[in-house]
Structure 1
Amino acid sequence: MDPVIVVGAGPVGLTLSLALARHGVPSVVLDEGPGKDEQRPARTVILREDTAALVERLARTPFDATGARWTGWRSLRRKQVMRELTFGDQLPSPLHLAQHELTGALRQAVDSERLVKVAVNSRLDSIEQESAGLTAHTRGPKGTWWRGSFLVGCDGPRSTVRKLLDIRFPGRTAVERHAVAALRTELPWPGEALLHRSLPWRTSGPSGGEVVGRPLADGVWRLDWLLPPRSELVTPDILVTRIRETLAGWSGGSTPPYELLDTGVHTVHHRLARRWRAGRVFLAGDAAHLLGALGTQSLDEGLRDADNLAWKLAVAWHEGPHEALLDSYQTERRAVVAGRLRAADQALPILRGGKGLRSYVAGSTRGHDVLLTDGHLGHGALGAPGSYEDSPLAPEPVEAEVGVGTAPGAPVRDVRVTAPDGSFVRLRDRLGLGHLLVVLIAPGTGVWERRHWVKAGVMPRLAAAVAALPHEAELLVAESYPGAPAHSVLLVRPDGHLVTALGGVRPAELYAAAQAALGGPAESGAKAGSGARTS
């Protein structure tokens, strides 16, 4: 079986190739560049809890040394503190790091992964599809052709893959513009990110300006100033003036010492590709969508694209045609991103319009703060991880279903579970391994060794039901799960989204739910892969 061809060696493309490898699927990454990334401290990424866990799991390294997890968040308006949040177990902190640090760690993981081959200086030129696979032609000093089973375009906003497929990419241009600076300094709020609106030391702009400060590792901060629409060119002198007056305003009137590391202008566009699949070719990341206004993070959604698509490609690669399963990638992910873009489009005139929220809701200032905090911290319609409650992979409702603290289609909570070898692990650590997860909620098991209860009660019957499922599955046991009754059984997809929760051991219902999560039975015909794992 031919490998999957991944076009683009940015964070999304590298993440997808590593995720495919964990599912036992080989891939070829076509890298247009030389295989090295420019170090730009002002070009950073903010990863929510789920996407940070995903890349740390795939890169097999924590990013605590190269990134920063904020201790808190504060919102200010003029000189008044509007909101303060402290991050902890109940409110996980985002991970903030330079993009080249993320890409570098993913490249290192790819270099040691035998199932991933990277072809540098390989610019895609054409794609030829047929029923049994496809061929990708590249040009450049090492121009050649590559044979693949599927191809995924992770090649950014100007995607060659999307253009070759003649897929429209409508949307809005320059929704927001920000002047950006990365600098090393000390601020009065070490470790805290902050949003400051209606700056008391500025009179330019309709609201006096807006700036966001986000800490990075090693005493570095990224500062973003919202620019007025159709504003003039940001010259170095103008940017230095902004830096000095902002640092002085935050530090009591005098500018503290600082070291300027990098600058830039970040322009936010909102676009959504009409189609994300054309035969054996798919789009992911910025090739499929662009967003980023009001603090939202486009890379977060791109990484979720990769997580969603990897296991579905793996099923088709190993087991043969699963068209309904592959189609569900576009249905699920495009709906989530479209909802995110709609939420931003609805909020933008409220937050950036001349009349503001005051003409809509009483208490406008606090309403502004809630909307912006949602975008920056990944909450609500603007930023929370997407749910696939309307997915075509959702099973038919049955009487055996029980309600738990996670709705069907939503990401599961990360709880401690007992693995088949008797070790205690986090549920999140068992994701992305190519199989479904079946989690039994059994209070009391956490205080006993597995050998004492593995053959008692409902365990033998549940183990037999799991072994009979239409796809490889792993049986885990949790002492508790939020909102779950004792002896309930959770079925979880490889990307961590809940399929269903059943009251007790229900082999027939569990089988039907698993088959639905796979898009139904595999289509008849020759298998796409050998059926055997290569990992």
Structure 2
Amino acid sequence: MDPVIVVGGGPVGLALALALAARDVPSVVLDEGTGEDEYRPARTAVLRADTAGFVERLGCAEALRAEGVRWTGWRSMRRRQLVRRVSFADGPYGLGGPDGLDGLDAAGGRGAGGGGSVSGAGADHGPGGSAGRAGGAAAASRAAGASGGAGAAGRTGGASGPPARGDGEDEADGYLAAAPLHIPQHALTGALRAALASPPAARLVQVVTECRVDALEQEAAGVAVHTRGQRETWWRGSHLVGCDGARSTVRKLLGIRFPGRTAVERHAVAMLRAELPWPGEGVLHRRPPWRNAGEEVTARPLPGGGWRLDWLLPPRGDLVTPEDLVVQIRETLAGWCDDTPAYELLDTGVYTLHHRLARRWRVDRAFLAGDAAHLLGALGTQGLDEGLRDVENLAWKLAEAWHDGGPAEVLLDSYQAERRTAVAARLRAADQSLPVLRGGGGLRTYLRGGSRQHDALLTDGHLGRGPLGAPPAYPHSPLAPVDLEGTVEVGTAPGAPVADVPVTAPDGTAGRLRDRLGRGVLVMLVAPGTGVWDRRHWVTAGVMPRLAEAVRNLPLRGELLVTEAYPGAAAHTVLLVRPDGHLAAAFTGVHPQSLHAAAKALRGDTPGQAPAESPEEEAAHAH
């Protein structure tokens, strides 16, 4: 069968090729660039827990540890007052709650992610984009000054009154948030490129550089694109995915509209090395008290003593000169440290954020992903995060359709139904919040309360919580099974991301649930006491043999796992987890026919209702 054609060699396109290769699907990546990424220290990405874990599973774990940094905490300040401080948990997924919940919010979505930087991928809205670069590496300078301790901006008391929550520590949420990963974007892209050289990607992925798509044709059995440049030829594939950014050629060739809002936010950014009062912490400072401070400034740590600073600018205004930005840097550092500390300026830029959403994400065998499908980034929302979630959602569905060879219409349609709905909800939440959070008044009915509540909402957007930031759930997915015998509610709502609990495979391999994602569905049995039993006893005891047989007979590739406990689940509960880590269904005991029907629903087959079981089978479920 023909390979999948991926147009675009940025992080989203490369991640898709790697995710397909992990499922034994070949692909051709058509990259307009040279395959060498521009070194821009100020262009960084903040990956929340779920997307960082996804990139690690693609073979980039070592590179992410070497090139990125996980924050120890997040500090939100207003003028001279600490409003909120969040400590991040150790480990990639932050299981810090008293009940083991991985940041489950009221809607069932995980709120354990973090981060608020915008990667700025794309010519329109990245550092050095339409608003122009302000300086760059050539503007590197060193300013002398004494390094101070925690300055007035970092104090928690004073004339402004006490912090919002006791000492400002974020303990009321019942868990510690997972640490976000902050990494230069060129390092992330380089890590993905390096992973392509390792099996199985090395034999399954072909990367073709310096070629631009200029024509696209589709038929019932496949899709073809024509490229010009280094390779002027036609390429034929089973499917095509446009990951070619904000000015997507694929989107234009498909005739898909891309409506939305222009210049929603504009930021100046500087990458520098300095000693700041909060080593390892991210900082959001709203309305700083010093002169010419502007409305908002954020600081995010990077390896080697690096910091990325972002200043909110008027959405439309004058260009920011290098001289203006140097003044802004000195005043900000002096405000935080009582005096301007020594610093080394490495890179600067200005980027403009747009909010847009493609009308369609699928046209027959062609799909859109990443910036080609959506632009967002205001109020801490993450464009690159959403692009990687697109990839994780689409890759397993394309792989299933590719291996099956059938039309798989419901399965492939579910990509747009799930992901476009989730991103649209994120954009809607940002549009409702912007008028109040940016001082424009307006939609008070959506944002009741005073400034502290608004500050908390903005902080949640940066930390990956609530409507602005939490990883999405797909409760109304076309793949959701319905009317099945034996279903039960657990601490994760159907369609929401599962909690990352410790698991053990029948062969004795132990690890985390999310480390097993990717290749097929996961079937997890909640079996208290497994950890203290010898494997040879529990693997053949109780319901395990019957459940193992049910997993072998699933219409999708499946893996059986066991866990000591899962939030909200009783002993002998069985959870069916999608390849992208979302809960498909939970059952009270072993119901092979219901499990089989739920797996069929994940393939896009008509879910229907599982046949009733015999009284003997029902009695067996109680044990």
- Would you say same fold, with TM above 0.5? yes
1:465 aligns with 2:550: yes
Q: CA deviation at 1:146?
A: 1.2
> Which one of 424, 446, 457 corresponds to residue 338 of structure 1?
424
AA of the residue aligned to 1:312: K
Q: CA deviation at 1:361?
A: 6.1
Distance (Å, rounded) in 1 between the aligned partners of 2:238 and 2:297: 47
Aligned to 1:192: 281
> Alpha-carbon deviation of 1:59?
2.4
Cα distance change on mapping 1:362 and 1:289 into 2, 3 Å: closer
Q: Cα RMSD (Å) of the superposition?
A: 1.5
- The CA distance in 2 between the partners of 1:132 and 1:359, in whole Å, is 51
Give the counterpart of 1:227 among 313, 317, 321: 313
Q: CA deviation at 1:399?
A: 4.8
SS of alignment partner, residue 266 of structure 1: strand
Find the counterpart in structure 2 of residue 410 from structure 1: 496
SS, match of residue 196 in structure 2: helix
Tell me what 2:363 maps to: 278
1:446 corresponds to 2:446: no
Give how far 1:397 is off.
Answer: 3.5
The separation in 1 between residues aligned to 2:360 and 2:380, in whole angstroms, is 26
CA contact (8 A) 1:187 1:251 kept: yes
State the partner residue of 1:520. Answer: 605
Equivalence for 1:364: 450
Q: Is the 8 A contact 2:211 2:231 kept in 1?
A: yes
Does the CA-based 8 Å contact 1:180-1:264 persist in structure 2?
yes
1:68 is displaced (CA, Å) by 1.0
1:217 aligns with 2:319: no
Distance across 2 between alignment mates of 1:151 and 1:169: 19
Q: Aligned residue for 2:80? A: 79
Aligned to 1:529: none
1:82-481 matches, cutoff 5 A:
82-88=83-89, 89=94, 90=96, 91-112=177-198, 113=201, 114-203=203-292, 208-252=294-338, 254-321=339-406, 322-355=408-441, 363-433=449-519, 435-481=520-566
Matched residues in 2 for 1:360 and 1:489: separation?
A: 39
Task: Please name the residue that 1:30 is paired with.
Answer: 30
The one-letter amino acid paired with 1:5 is I
Aligned to 1:528: none
The answer as to whether partners of 1:351 and 1:357 remain within 8 angstroms in 2 is no
373 and 505 in structure 1: CA distance in 2 versus 1, 3 angstrom threshold: same
Aligned partner letter, 2:83? M
- Contact 1:357–1:367 (CA under 8 A) maintained in structure 2: no
Task: After TM superposition, give the deviation of residue 358 of structure 1 in Å.
Answer: 8.1
Q: Check 1:198–1:448 CA distance in 2 against 1; reply closer, same or farther (3 A cut).
A: same
Structure 1, gaps ≥5 residues long: 523-535
Distance change >3 Å, CA 361–CA 154, structure 1 → 2: closer
Matched-pair contact (CA < 8 Å) for 1:202–1:209: no
What is the one-letter code of the residue matched to 2:81? Q
Q: Which residue of 2 aligns with 1:530?
A: none
Looking at structure 2, the residues matched to 419 and 192 of structure 1 have their Cα atoms a distance apart, in angstroms, of: 37
SS in 2 for 1:111: coil
Counterpart amino acid of residue 223 in structure 2: L
- The structure showing larger relative contact order (alpha-carbon pairs under 8 Å, at least 6 residues apart) is 2
Q: Does 1:45 align with 2:45?
A: yes
Q: Which amino acid aligns with 1:74?
A: R
Amino acid at match of 1:440: L
Q: Would the aligned equivalents of 1:422 and 1:449 in 2 still touch at CA under 8 Å?
A: no
Query: Any unmatched runs of 5+ in structure 2?
Result: 97-176, 608-623
1:151–1:280 contact (8 Å) kept in structure 2:
yes
Q: Is the contact between residue 501 and residue 512 of structure 2 (CA under 8 Å) also seen in structure 1? A: yes
The two structures have a TM-score, normalised by structure 2, of: 0.81
C-alpha separation between the residues in 1 aligned to 2:195 and 2:455? 39
**TM-score w.r.t. length of structure 1:** 0.94
Match of 1:61, SS? helix
Query: Corresponding residue for 1:69?
Result: 70
Contact 1:440 / 1:487 at 8 angstroms: preserved in 2? yes
Cross-structure match for 2:588: 503
The one-letter code sitting in structure 2 at the alignment partner of 1:520 is D
CA deviation map 1:111-151 (0-9, x unaligned) = 22221110011111111111111111110032222111000
Distance 1:28 1:267 in 2: 32
Which residue is 1:526 aligned to?
A: none
Secondary structure of the equivalent of 1:5?
A: strand
Q: 1:452 is matched by which residue type in structure 2?
A: H
- Could you tell me how far 1:353 is from its partner in structure 2? 3.1
Superposed CA deviations along residues 295-339 of structure 1, whole A, max 9, x for unmatched, are 111000000000000000000000122111000000000000000
Shift of 1:359: 9.1
Q: 1:13 — aligned with what? A: 13
Distance 1:394 1:358 in 2: 35
The answer on whether the counterparts of 1:244 and 1:255 sit within 8 Å (CA) in structure 2 is yes
Gap change, CA 1:300 and 1:118, over 3 Å in 2: same
Greater alpha carbon shift after TM alignment, 452-461 vs 19-28: 452-461
Question: 2: CA distance between counterparts of 1:240 and 1:295?
Answer: 24
Q: How far apart are 1:521 and its partner, in Å? A: 6.5
Shift of 1:355: 4.0
Question: Residue deviations 1:399-451, cap 9 Å, x none?
Answer: 51112111100011111111232111211111111x11110111111122321
Q: Is the deviation greater in 1-10 or in 423-432?
A: 423-432
Evaluate the alpha carbon distance shift between residue 5 and residue 362 of structure 1 in structure 2; reply closer, same or farther with a 3 A threshold.
closer
